[in-house]
Structures are given as C-alpha cells and as structure tokens.
Amino acid sequence: MRPHLRIIQACAASLALLITSAGVAAQSLLRTSLYASGFNLPVAFVQDPGDRSIQYVVEKGGRIRVVRSGTVQSPDFLNLASVITADGERGLLGLAFAPDYVSSGRFYVNFTDANGNTVVARFRRSTQPLVADAASRFDLRWGGVSAPAVIAQPYANHNGGNLAFGPDGCLYVGLGDGGSADDPQHRAQTPSTLLGKMLRVDVSVPDTDPIGYRIPSDNPFVVSSLPDIRREIWSFGLRNPWRYSFDDPAHGGTGALIIGDVGQGSYEEVDYEPAGRGGRNYGWRNREGAHDHLDSPPPAYTPLTDPIHEYDHSLGQSITGGYVYRGADLGPTYTGRYFFADFVNARVWSIGLTIDDATGAAQAGSAVEYTADLGGSAALGNISAFGVDADAELYIVSYSLGRIYKIYLLRPPPTPTLRLLPR
C-alpha cells in the first residue's frame, strides 16, 4: 500500500471516530445554569403569556414571585400566606394563566385553605401589570350555586395541586386520592367524588357566573351509566398527579396530556393520553404502575390504562412530571423527548416517544439519565417541577435549594478540518 494512501485512510478513520464520538457526546452534553434564586420552597415556574421576559415562581408558603430576565422583582404578584395551610404536602400548589390572559387578566391558583381543603380560585391582575388584584378573588363552586367552594380533603397528603390549560382552552385540575395510604375509601375509583381524578372545566364564563365554570358538553361522563358520576371528571384512577403538562401544539407538539403520578410503595409512573382522549381509568388503587395492587373493591370500570413508563423504588420514590421538549436550543437530539425527575432522589431523565399517527398512542423508549451532567443530585436538590419559557426551553425548579435552573446544551468544539496530503 502506498504511504500516502495509508495516511489518508488513517485520517479518514480518525475523522469517523471524531464524528461518532461527537454523536455519543451530544447525548450527555446537557448542563444547567442558575436562572434565579432566593425562593422559599418553590413548586412551580410559569411563563407570563404576554411578556416573554417575565416568569412567575410559586412558593408553597403562599407567595407568587415575579422574575424578569432572571432577576426577582418586588413586590410579589400575589401573597396568599394568610389564607392557606402550608404544612407537609399542603400549601399554594398551582398557577395557570387563562388563554386570553393578555386581554382578560384572569388567572387561577390551587391551594389548601385554613381547613386543609382544596380551593381553585380565580383572580385578575390589577392596573399594575405585575401585581394581582387580591380583591378580585372568586372561588369556584364545585357542583352548583349552593355547592361548597372547596373540594374537601379527608387527609393532609395527596392534594395534587397542579393546574394547566389544555390546547382546547379548558382548565384541567389534577386531584390526588385524598390521602392516607392505599386510598382507604377507594376514592380514585368512586364516581361521586372528584378526588383521584383529572377534572376538565370551561372557565370562560362571565365574572357574574355564580359557579365560575361550565361543564364541557364533550366531557366523557356527561352521559354515563356510572352511579352519581361527577360530570367534571375527565379521567379516573390517579393517586397523586404531581405535575402534568400538554405537548404544546404551538411549538409542534401533539396536544397529548402527560401525567407524572406518584406511586405508593413500589412504582412511579408516566401516563400518556392522546389529545382529546378522556375517559381513561389509570387504575389506582387496583393497579400501581402496570402492576396489580389491591383487587377489592373492583375498579369503577375497565379497561384500565397502563403507564407508558414506570420505574421502581430502587431508582426513585416520588415522580415529578415534566414536559415534552419542543424548544430549539438543545437541538434535534432532544426534540420530542419527555423530561421528568424524581423528587426524593433528585434525579432527572428523559424518554423518547414513538407516536402512532393513526391512534395518537405513544410508546416510550428507554430512559436516559442526565443527573450527573446537570450537576448531580446535591446541586439539583429536590426537584418539585419543571417549567418552560416563551421559547419552550426547559427549566428545573429546585424545591429544597430555592433555585430555578435553565437547561442548556454544552456545544462541543468544532471538528477539525481534514486536509488530504497531495499525491
């Protein structure tokens, strides 16, 4: 073999190795940068719909803080500390801005009141755009004009608490099973209670509406043979849906609802629901993850829908649901992957999703972990939520450290240009 040919082949092999190595490295180049800090037990990071430089951080103790371009502002957007209970799993737990927030100024919060019961309250912003009008509070009445403006919580845990508007414009309210362990009253399978369910309501009603919402005519149980069914219910069988989100169609997503549901003693699960496919029963307490749990009493109805992904308690003990990544900064490697975390073990993963175009159903690939790349469990702390900004870029909410981190891609150095030797 001619010497110059051997050199060319050696260079080509080196280039191939560089390209291969770059591809492998690209899967482990995620990092975090500190975006904002100084928070007390934050549980949510929510983008302002009208100002891309503004986000809101929800603190469990009752404050909603304003962040502009990474700098915490004063005064607070809203402070509900005097009207909530914030011990254990209770507190101010959710925030969602109405789709027409820019014009209406309406937003919604979820908190546990002085008696520990769940309140979903509507507010408006004040004449100062970064301050809410506390006097505008209206508590949704669950079931009619004479119905209570709370959802009674029998125990102190499993309150759920997340709020999110779907692509359909409706408000989705995720509720835990009411607490204790093993759902002792089987509430997640009881049609007459809202606990252990995902609710879907239309809140685009006048301020004078005495209830604060309408039940959409296409909710799955508007017509049902189940006894005493609450028509606000969208789906059954949730234990404690700690963070759920929609795969945002505005950024190329499918509109699917993805739920992180906290398990009992063995499994954490990710539930996937194609857009508009309500009426599913995710199985708790008869199933934990994809496994039989307690078989009596039987479920409210079948079939039961298994999660698309689960992990056992050797890996983590309390899932924090996240988002399907639809931004641009991380590149195509991560587009369409669902990111989630474990609160107790402070770990972060993503799963790839293969979508059936005909049914909208998803199959999950193997989980890829990024904990070490993102700084390690000690640096991340207990992760209570993820968030996205106006560009659909991902953020991590560190509950224990009071910080918001932005996930970014560490760009590899450019590949050296191959120069062939003259013959």
pLDDT digits (tens, 9 = 90+) for 270-283: 999 999 999 999 99
Peptide bond connecting 274 to the previous residue in cis, omega within 30 degrees of 0: no
Mean per-residue pLDDT of the chain: 93
Q: Is residue 276 in some structural domain?
A: yes
Instruction: State yes or no: pLDDT of 404 exceeds 60.
Output: yes
Q: Is residue 40 in some structural domain?
A: yes
**Predicted pLDDT at 411:** 85
Q: How many CA atoms lie within 13 A of 354 on its CB side?
A: 4
Instruction: State yes or no: pLDDT of 384 exceeds 90.
Output: yes
Q: Is residue 361 in some structural domain?
A: yes
Instruction: State yes or no: pLDDT of 14 exceeds 80.
Output: no
CA dist 416 and 393 (Å) reads 30
pLDDT digits (tens, 9 = 90+) for 359-380: 999 999 999 999 999 999 999 9
Cβ neighbours of 59 (radius 10 Å): 23
Q: Is residue 167 in some structural domain?
A: yes
Instruction: State yes or no: pLDDT of 423 exceeds 60.
Output: no
> What is the sign of the dihedral through the CA atoms of 181, 320, 196 and 287?
negative
CA dist 47 and 52 (Å) reads 7
Instruction: State yes or no: pLDDT of 168 exceeds 80.
Output: yes
**Predicted pLDDT at 420:** 63
Residue 352 to residues 141, 332, 368: CA-CA distances in angstroms? 40, 12, 9
pLDDT band at residue 19, thresholds of 50, 70 and 90?
Answer: very low
pLDDT band at residue 405, thresholds of 50, 70 and 90?
Answer: very high
Q: Is residue 419 in some structural domain?
A: no
Q: Is residue 92 in some structural domain?
A: yes
CA dist 167 and 276 (Å) reads 9
Q: What percent of the chain stands above pLDDT 70?
A: 92
**Predicted pLDDT at 418:** 65
Q: Which residues contact 66 (CB under 8 A, 6 or more apart)?
A: 54, 56, 72, 73, 76, 77, 130
**Span 94-110, average pLDDT:** 98
pLDDT digits (tens, 9 = 90+) for 61-80: 999 999 999 999 999 999 99
**CA-based nearest residue to 184, from 163, 162, 158, 207:** 158
**Predicted pLDDT at 413:** 74
**CB neighbour class for 18 (10 Å; exposed up to 12, middle 13-18, buried from 19):** middle
**Predicted pLDDT at 417:** 67
**CB neighbour class for 357 (10 Å; exposed up to 12, middle 13-18, buried from 19):** exposed
**Span 407-423, average pLDDT:** 75
Could you tell me how far CA 182 lies from the centroid of its own chain? 23
**Predicted pLDDT at 365:** 98
pLDDT band at residue 15, thresholds of 50, 70 and 90?
Answer: very low
CATH number, domain with residue 11: 2.120.10.30
Q: Which residues contact 209 (CB under 8 A, 6 or more apart)?
A: none
**Predicted pLDDT at 9:** 37
**CA-based nearest residue to 163, from 85, 107, 110, 221:** 110
CA dist 262 and 270 (Å) reads 9
Q: How many CA atoms lie within 13 A of 60 on its CB side?
A: 21
- 38 in the Ramachandran plot: left (φ > 0), alpha (ψ -120 to 50) or beta? left
Q: Is residue 279 in some structural domain?
A: yes
Tokens at 223, concatenated: 């017509």
Instruction: State yes or no: pLDDT of 407 exceeds 50.
Output: yes
C-beta of residue 262 within 8 angstroms of C-beta of residue 268: yes
Instruction: State yes or no: pLDDT of 20 exceeds 60.
Output: no
- Quote the domain boundaries for residue 364: 3-409
pLDDT digits (tens, 9 = 90+) for 37-64: 999 999 999 999 999 999 999 999 999 9
Instruction: State yes or no: pLDDT of 356 exceeds 90.
Output: yes
Q: Is residue 192 in some structural domain?
A: yes
C-beta of residue 230 within 8 angstroms of C-beta of residue 194: yes
pLDDT digits (tens, 9 = 90+) for 197-229: 999 999 999 999 999 999 999 999 999 999 999
Instruction: State yes or no: pLDDT of 3 exceeds 50.
Output: no
pLDDT band at residue 28, thresholds of 50, 70 and 90?
Answer: low
Instruction: State yes or no: pLDDT of 322 exceeds 70.
Output: yes
Q: How many domains does the chain have?
A: 1
**Span 9-31, average pLDDT:** 46
